[in-house]
Structure 1
């Protein structure tokens, strides 16, 4: 009789886990599909079927966790709402990120990306993150909101602090204080702008939000302030990492890079495969509203549940050869990848599926096409090796290429 050695329980909040989470994800899926982390007290769910269930079962799992993750910094947003409140607020927001307004915005997305890439030097090296992907999505949001480009560093500071606050599993006091500074500085900046747009509306997103109405409901200044904060984090941090990671994984698979370069219809497939292979948001939290059994483990009511997208998207129970980056894979639909019917987990699932997914799609496809145009041979700078960083959101820290 042979015995199987069970690997030690991963510690999600440990430095080793943050250094290389993908080495721990298979251990979680195979041996600890519901893993309680002692440091945070959270329950981490890692199998595709279980993560999908948590997202879709709104009766057993809620978004109450955003009450401590996000609300203290920017206020109450649509992603923590439920029932009629969520339905109304989502309907108020959706026209601004889909449909005619999005169609009007998309040419500006292309223009912004082209302007930024045109500033790359003709020789030496370029850090595609510091010189492009870090700032491109936030440029788009700033254009949508018609805010001063001179304040770009403020916006980046605020969304960085919000992302850190949201991801602060261990309760780091410095991160908490950083978030509290944003709690004061961000409203002091944005609320007067919202009030002015309400008095003198233009064609920008803030102005549109001040006049939109649905079933007799309108958005207050506080609601608009919170939504803009959400756009900064959802539209900045995550899209930045999605673009950078897609480029990185194409560079690490030269045959696929060559195929995408030759057939630009594959750019969308590359973006989608990256969403599966290395989703920019690796972990999203939910809250158990009742005692619930998942993979044979009972998660007590009131517990915070971590949906580990990065593990679920490489679950061999769901995907063929899941640890292979493959733009030609046939078990993920490119057509549905940016809709609520997506069969990967990167934008969550169910009624809280990311409303900005179509904007993210255009930004990523535009960015990658223009990078391929600018670099006929896309190669890392001599001596450079990329390194991924981050726990909740994850992507390459730098991406230094030959100009």
Structure 2
């Protein structure tokens, strides 16, 4: 893609690690909106300030397509599980996919799903030896959102291997390189097509059946849209929850006073989840593309040019959040106001036409995950020393002991 206003000076290269480096993001924010290269692959404007990002994410002029947008029907008979393809669809296909999901993934559906989400959390935690050091990523924070997505989609427990094999390859212990294989992608694609065909004949109370019931003059097109919607939910709905549970729990356990306060005051859980969303910001980037030449925060942007909002920087903008690097659940108080805005109006889920469709489900998962850990294992602690800490350092792990005192009495459900 041609640079919006390329010059002779090499652009600063922004990689994935920098998007989580708060010291680097602070320096970048002090420079205002600047032109950068994303990993050396794509040039565009980088936004790091809250007010600019909030405007960018809802700006109608920035509803253009990615210059490399590819139809989800391109190569549909080949590998049908390309994650990147789903995030850069042509505008009309993207809007149709979002409508397919949003009309059925309602707050009411999420509320009805809560007992099953609670059951999955309890089931996973009941299987963990409480007095031993365990990697929470492996035993809980990674399998939990997979189980929730399978419950949402109505995938029987005995058939969930297709989903696990695919998603575990994509997230690769969340933090390592992707290890998804062609065979896993093909297997999942074939399985989902068969599942959708079966639900079309015999609907249930799951999200796939609900999306199919929306009706269409073109039944085949509707099935393709549902397939794309399911794939999108799987790849977009797993990784952020895994990261938030893992990084959020580590933060609470390292700053033990926050964990102890939650044990004593479980009613503070909602405020804590909102502050974790702001402080951790599990999704680092939200991008928009110009439909025609325009201007963003005083910088010229060519048609097709990208604007990339660094959400971890945006959510710690001192112009929007007082003492932004401090983890403070008290900043979320629905009874307070700040110039008419909610005190913790973070942008962890984005805004505008590409805001996170699964935000209600993600919040429910986080409340249930942390609530189950607090209720069942109030003495939960980081393992010291962490076993195997030197092995495969590129993989994200969180070694904990659920009940260090060894007198665990499970909470009845």
- Do both share a fold (TM > 0.5)? yes
Q: Structure 2 vs 1, CA of residues 100 and 32 (structure 1 numbering), >3 Å: closer, same or farther?
A: closer
Q: Quick check: 1:147 aligned with 2:155?
A: yes
Out of 79, 102, 105, which is 2:113 matched to? 105
User: How big is the shift at 1:351?
Assistant: 2.8
Residue of structure 1 equivalent to 2:128: 120
How far did residue 142 of structure 1 move? 0.8
Q: Which runs of 5+ in 2 are unaligned?
A: 1-9, 75-79, 403-413
Hey, what's the Cα distance between the residues in 2 that align with 1:354 and 1:52? Answer: 14
Distance 1:217 1:23, change over 3 A: farther
Match of 1:134 in 2: 142
RMSD of aligned residue pairs (Cα, Å): 3.7
Displacement of 1:41 = 2.8
Matches within 5 A, 1:15-164: 17=18, 21-37=21-37, 39-43=40-44, 44-62=46-64, 64=66, 67=69, 73-74=80-81, 80=89, 82=91, 90-159=98-167
Task: Structure 1 unaligned segments of length 5 or more: list them.
Answer: 1-7, 168-173, 388-394
Q: Which range moves more in the overlay, 262-271 or 348-357?
A: 348-357
Look up the match of 1:399: 398
Spell out, residue by residue over 1:279-312, the C-alpha distance to the aligned partner (whole angstroms, 9 max, x if none). 1101122222222322332222212332211111
Per-residue deviation at 1:237?
Answer: 1.2
Equivalent residues in 2 for 1:4-403, closer than 5 Å: 11-13=13-15, 17=18, 21-37=21-37, 39-43=40-44, 44-62=46-64, 64=66, 67=69, 73-74=80-81, 80=89, 82=91, 90-159=98-167, 184-213=186-215, 220-330=222-332, 343-384=345-386, 397-403=396-402
Residues 240 and 57 of structure 1: is their aligned pair in 2 closer, same or farther, counting only changes over 3 Å?
same
CA 1:64–1:87 in structure 2 vs 1: closer, same or farther (change >3 Å)? same
CA contact (8 A) 2:199 2:208 kept: yes
**Post-superposition offset of 1:334:** 10
Comparing 66-75 and 117-126, the one that deviates more: 66-75
Give the direction of change, closer, same or farther, for the CA distance of 1:238–1:228 in structure 2 (3 Å limit): same
TM-score between the two structures when normalised by the length of structure 1: 0.80
SS of 2:29's equivalent? helix
163 and 113 in structure 1: CA distance in 2 versus 1, 3 angstrom threshold? closer
Taking structure 2 as the reference length, what is the TM-score of the superposition? 0.78
Aligned-pair distance for 1:371?
A: 0.6
C-alpha contact (below 8 Å) 2:277/2:346 kept by paired residues: yes
Q: How many residues align?
A: 373
Residues 112 and 229 of structure 1: is their aligned pair in 2 closer, same or farther, counting only changes over 3 Å? same
1:351-403 Cα offsets, whole Å, 9 max, x none, are 3222211111111001101111222223210123999xxxxxxx992111123
| Distance across 2 between alignment mates of 1:55 and 1:162 | 27
